[in-house]
C-alpha cells in the first residue's frame, strides 16, 4: 500500500460553521473590549474635566468672595480652556439654576456633581463632562473584521493540524489492516486467500451514487472541483478500508476452515497407522506368539509414516517461525542434479520413462545441501512417477539467478488447480492426484537409500511435499513456480540466488 501524504483541509459544513462561529465570537470579543476601553477612557476624561472646572470655580469664589461676574468670566475663559463636546455648569449652594454654564448643559447634567469648597465650607457645586457622540470610530469595526478573518484562518489551520494528528494513527491502522489483508499465507487455500478485486461499490456509481461516481468526473459543473476531489478521496479511503476488512474477514474464515481441516487430516493420518499397530500388537499379546518378520515390517512401515508426518509438520512449523536451520556451504549443484538423475533415472527406465539432464556448464551454489537435495528429489520423483515417456531437467544461470526446470510429458494439471498446488494439506482433484502435484516430501536420507520411503510410490498423501519444498526454496531466498497444460505435461521451475564466494 502506498503511503498517503497529509491532505489539505476538506472539512464538512459543520466544521465550516464552527469556524465561522469562532470568528464571529472573536470579532464580538474585540468590539466588546474596544467598547470597554473607550468607555474607560471617557470616564477618565470626564473625571479630569470635573476636577479642573471644580478647582476653577473654587479659586474664583475665593478670589471674588462670591459668584458675581462668573458667567462673563467663564464665557471668556471657555474659549481658552474649553474643548469641542465638553460642557460645564456651576450652581450656587441651594440654587436651582446654574449661575454660569458653558457648552451643552444636557451633557453637563448627565455627569455627577462635585462640591465647591471655600474656607472649609460648601458654597456650591459643579458638573463637567465631555460628549464625543460615538465611543467607537470607523477603525474598530474594520479591525474587528480583520480579527474575524485571522481567527477563521487560524481555526482552519488548527483544525487541519488536528485532523492530521488524528489521521496519522488512522492511516497506520488502515495500512496494517490492508497489509494484513494483502498478505498471503501458505496455510490453506491460497487461491481463496488471494486478495479479491475491489467491487464496484468501492469505486464507481456504488460509491458516489449514480452520476456522482466515475461518470461525474467529466461534469465539473455539478460540484466545485476541490470539494468533489475531497469527497472522492474520503469515500475512496473508506471504501479501501472496508474492502481490506472484507478480505481480512474472508481470510480469517478460510484460515479457520483450514485449521479445522488440518487437525482432522492429521488425526486421520495418525489414527490409521496407530490402529494397525495396536491391532497387531494386541493380537500378539493375546496369542502369546512372537510376531513374524512380515508383520514386523508392516509395523515398521506404519511407524515410519508417523515419524515422517511428525517430521514434516515440525519442518513447516520451523519455517513458519523463521527458525528453519540451514547448514550453508558451497557445492556443485550441477553434480548434485547429475547424481539425482542417475539414481532415479535408472529406476525410471524400467517403467519406460527416460530422464534427460541438460546442464551446459558447472553451477556452484551456496546453500543447505540436504534441503536442496530434498527439493529436487521430490520434484524429480513426482515427474518420473507421472511422466509418460520423458522427463527433462535443465539447469543454468539466467537473469542473474540459478534456474532449474523439471518438465514431464504427463497428463498435466488443470489450470484452476495450479494456484493451490503449494498449499499445505491440499491434495486437489483428480488431475492433481494423477500428476502427483501435491505429493509428500521424502525424508532427509531418502536419496541416499535410493527411495523415498515405504510409501514413496503411493499416490496421494497428506499434501505436504510441495509445501515443504516451497518453504525450503523460500528459506534460501528463491522462488518455485509451476506451469502446466492439460494433456501436455507439467513444468516446475526453481530459481535460486547466485552468491559470490567470500
Name the DSSP class of 184: -
Name the DSSP class of 290: P
pLDDT of residue 27: 81
pLDDT of residue 255: 72
pLDDT of residue 396: 93
275-284, 312-321, 398-407, 459-468: range with lowest mean pLDDT: 459-468
Average pLDDT over residues 161-187: 67
pLDDT band at 403 (very low <50, low <70, confident <90, very high): very high
In this predicted model, which residue has the larger pLDDT, 255 or 329? 329
Query: How would you classify residue 235: left for phi > 0, otherwise alpha for psi between -120 and 50, otherwise beta?
Result: alpha
**Segment 429-455, tens digit of pLDDT:** 544 544 444 555 554 444 433 333 333
Q: Cα-Cα-Cα-Cα dihedral of 366, 370, 372, 375, to 10°?
A: 180
Measured CA to CA, the distance from residue 121 to residue 289 in angstroms comes to 146
All structural domains of the chain with their residue ranges: 1-182, 184-291, 328-497
Counting residues of the chain whose pLDDT is more than 90, the rounded percentage is 16
111 pLDDT more than 50: yes
**Segment 3-15, tens digit of pLDDT:** 444 444 445 566 6
pLDDT band at 390 (very low <50, low <70, confident <90, very high): very high
CB 381 within 8 A of CB 344: yes
For the record, the C-alpha cell of 286 comes out as 493375546
256 pLDDT more than 60: yes
Query: How would you classify residue 133: left for phi > 0, otherwise alpha for psi between -120 and 50, otherwise beta?
Result: left
> Which helix or strand (DSSP H or E) is residue 98 part of?
none
Measured CA to CA, the distance from residue 207 to residue 195 in angstroms comes to 20
251 pLDDT more than 80: no
pLDDT band at 180 (very low <50, low <70, confident <90, very high): low
Measured CA to CA, the distance from residue 460 to residue 447 in angstroms comes to 20
pLDDT of residue 240: 75
For the record, the C-alpha cell of 404 comes out as 532449474
pLDDT band at 138 (very low <50, low <70, confident <90, very high): low
**Segment 197-238, tens digit of pLDDT:** 443 333 333 333 333 333 333 344 443 454 445 545 555 666
pLDDT of residue 200: 37
pLDDT of residue 279: 84
For the record, the C-alpha cell of 316 comes out as 513447516
In this predicted model, which residue has the larger pLDDT, 356 or 444? 356
Cα-trace Rg, the chain: 49
| Closest among 373, 378, 336 to 357, alpha carbons compared | 336
CB 378 within 8 A of CB 442: yes
405 pLDDT more than 90: yes
Query: Where do the H-state alpha helices sit in 183-331?
Result: 190-193, 205-208, 225-287, 293-320
Q: Pairing state of beta strands 390-398 and 354-358?
A: parallel
pLDDT band at 479 (very low <50, low <70, confident <90, very high): very high
For the record, the C-alpha cell of 482 comes out as 509451476
pLDDT of residue 91: 82
Q: How many CB atoms lie within 10 A of CB 360?
A: 10
Q: Which residue has the cell 539432464?
A: 357
Residue 88, strand partner residues? 102, 128
| Average confidence score pLDDT of the chain | 74
134-143, 163-172, 189-198, 390-399: range with lowest mean pLDDT: 189-198
Average pLDDT over residues 352-376: 92
Most confident residue range from 67-71, 168-172, 197-201, 472-476 = 472-476
Residue 393, strand partner residues? 357, 406
pLDDT of residue 312: 77
Measured CA to CA, the distance from residue 381 to residue 387 in angstroms comes to 10
131 pLDDT more than 60: yes
pLDDT band at 143 (very low <50, low <70, confident <90, very high): confident
DSSP states along 30-53: HHHHHHHHHHHHHHHHHHHHHHHH
pLDDT of residue 238: 66
In this predicted model, which residue has the larger pLDDT, 169 or 356? 356
Measured CA to CA, the distance from residue 370 to residue 133 in angstroms comes to 103
In this predicted model, which residue has the larger pLDDT, 490 or 196? 490
List of residues 6+ apart from 315 with CB closer than 8 A: 324, 441, 468, 471
401 pLDDT more than 60: yes
What separation in angstroms does the CA of 469 have from each of 11, 45, 355, 387? 54, 98, 21, 20
Q: How many CB atoms lie within 10 A of CB 5?
A: 7
In this predicted model, which residue has the larger pLDDT, 447 or 247? 247
Q: Domain 328-497 is in which class?
A: alpha beta
What separation in angstroms does the CA of 443 have from each of 263, 329, 332, 496? 22, 20, 21, 22
pLDDT of residue 74: 84
Burial class of residue 461, CB neighbours in 10 A (0-12, 13-18, 19+): buried
Burial class of residue 228, CB neighbours in 10 A (0-12, 13-18, 19+): middle
Counting residues of the chain whose pLDDT is more than 70, the rounded percentage is 71
Measured CA to CA, the distance from residue 77 to residue 346 in angstroms comes to 138
Q: How many CB atoms lie within 10 A of CB 408?
A: 29
What separation in angstroms does the CA of 316 have from each of 194, 198, 467? 21, 32, 8
For the record, the C-alpha cell of 188 comes out as 490453506
pLDDT of residue 218: 39
Q: How many CB atoms lie within 10 A of CB 366?
A: 17
At residue 86's C-alpha, the angle toward residues 83 and 89, to 5°, is 120
> Which helix or strand (DSSP H or E) is residue 198 part of?
none
pLDDT of residue 121: 86
**Segment 30-54, tens digit of pLDDT:** 778 878 887 787 788 888 888 888 8
| Closest among 373, 408, 412, 411 to 391, alpha carbons compared | 408
Amino acid at each position: 500500500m502506498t503511503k498517503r501524504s497529509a491532505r489539505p483541509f476538506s472539512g464538512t459544513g459543520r466544521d465550516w460553521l464552527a469556524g465561522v462561529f469562532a470568528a464571529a465570537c472573536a470579532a464580538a470579543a474585540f468590539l466588546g473590549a474596544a467598547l470597554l476601553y473607550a468607555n474607560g477612557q471617557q470616564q477618565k476624561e470626564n473625571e479630569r474635566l470635573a476636577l479642573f472646572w471644580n478647582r476653577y470655580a473654587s479659586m474664583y469664589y475665593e478670589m471674588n468672595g462670591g459668584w458675581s461676574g462668573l458667567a462673563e468670566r467663564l464665557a471668556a475663559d471657555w474659549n481658552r480652556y474649553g474643548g469641542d463636546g465638553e460642557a460645564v455648569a456651576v450652581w450656587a449652594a441651594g440654587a436651582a439654576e446654574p449661575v454660569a454654564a458653558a457648552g451643552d448643559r444636557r451633557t453637563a447634567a448627565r455627569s455627577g456633581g462635585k462640591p465647591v469648597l471655600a474656607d472649609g465650607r460648601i458654597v456650591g457645586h459643579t458638573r463637567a463632562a465631555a460628549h464625543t457622540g460615538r465611543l467607537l470610530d470607523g477603525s474598530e469595526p474594520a479591525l474587528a473584521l480583520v480579527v474575524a478573518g485571522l481567527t477563521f484562518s487560524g481555526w482552519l489551520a488548527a483544525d487541519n493540524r488536528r485532523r492530521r494528528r488524528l489521521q496519522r494513527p488512522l492511516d497506520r491502522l488502515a495500512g496494517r489492516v490492508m497489509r494484513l489483508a494483502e498478505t498471503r499465507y501458505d496455510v490453506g487455500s491460497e487461491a481463496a486467500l488471494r486478495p479479491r478485486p475491489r467491487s464496484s461499490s468501492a469505486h464507481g456509481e456504488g460509491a458516489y451514487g449514480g452520476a456522482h461516481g466515475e461518470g461525474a468526473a467529466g461534469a465539473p459543473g455539478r460540484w466545485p472541483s476541490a470539494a468533489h476531489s475531497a469527497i472522492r478521496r474520503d469515500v475512496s479511503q473508506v471504501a479501501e478500508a472496508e474492502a481490506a476488512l472484507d478480505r481480512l474477514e474472508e481470510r480469517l474464515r478460510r484460515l479457520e476452515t483450514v485449521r479445522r481441516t488440518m487437525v482432522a487430516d492429521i488425526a486421520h493420518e495418525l489414527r490409521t497407522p496407530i490402529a494397525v499397530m495396536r491391532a497387531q500388537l494386541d493380537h500378539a499379546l493375546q496369542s502369546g506368539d512372537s510376531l513374524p518378520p512380515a508383520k514386523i515390517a508392516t509395523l515398521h512401515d506404519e511407524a515410519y509414516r508417523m515419524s515422517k508426518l511428525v517430521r514434516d509438520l515440525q519442518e513447516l512449523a520451523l519455517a513458519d517461525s523463521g527458525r528453519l536451520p540451514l547448514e550453508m556451504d558451497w557445492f556443485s549443484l550441477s553434480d548434485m542434479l547429475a547424481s539425482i538423475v542417475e539414481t532415479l533415472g535408472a529406476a525410471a527406465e524400467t517403467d519406460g520413462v527416460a530422464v534427460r539432464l541438460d546442464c551446459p556448464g558447472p553451477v556452484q551454489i551456496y546453500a543447505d545441501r540436504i534441503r536442496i537435495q530434498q527439493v529436487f528429489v521430490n520434484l524429480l520423483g513426482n515427474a518420473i512417477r507421472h511422466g509418460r515417456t520423458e522427463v527433462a531437467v535443465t539447469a543454468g544461470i539466467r537473469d542473474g539467478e540459478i534456474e532449474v526446470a523439471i518438465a514431464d510429458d504427463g497428463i498435466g494439471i488443470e489450470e484452476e488447480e495450479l494456484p493451490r498446488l503449494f498449499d499445505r494439506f491440499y491434495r486437489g482433484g483428480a488431475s492433481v492426484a494423477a500428476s502427483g502435484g501435491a505429493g509428500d516430501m521424502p525424508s532427509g536420507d531418502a536419496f541416499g537409500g535410493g527411495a523415498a520411503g515405504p510409501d514413496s510410490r503411493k499416490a496421494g498423501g497428506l499434501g505436504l511435499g510441495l509445501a515443504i519444498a516451497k518453504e525450503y526454496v523460500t528459506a534460501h531466498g528463491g522462488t518455485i513456480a509451476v506451469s502446466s497444460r492439460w494433456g501436455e505435461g507439467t513444468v516446475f521451475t526453481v530459481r535460486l540466488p547466485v552468491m559470490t564466494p567470500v
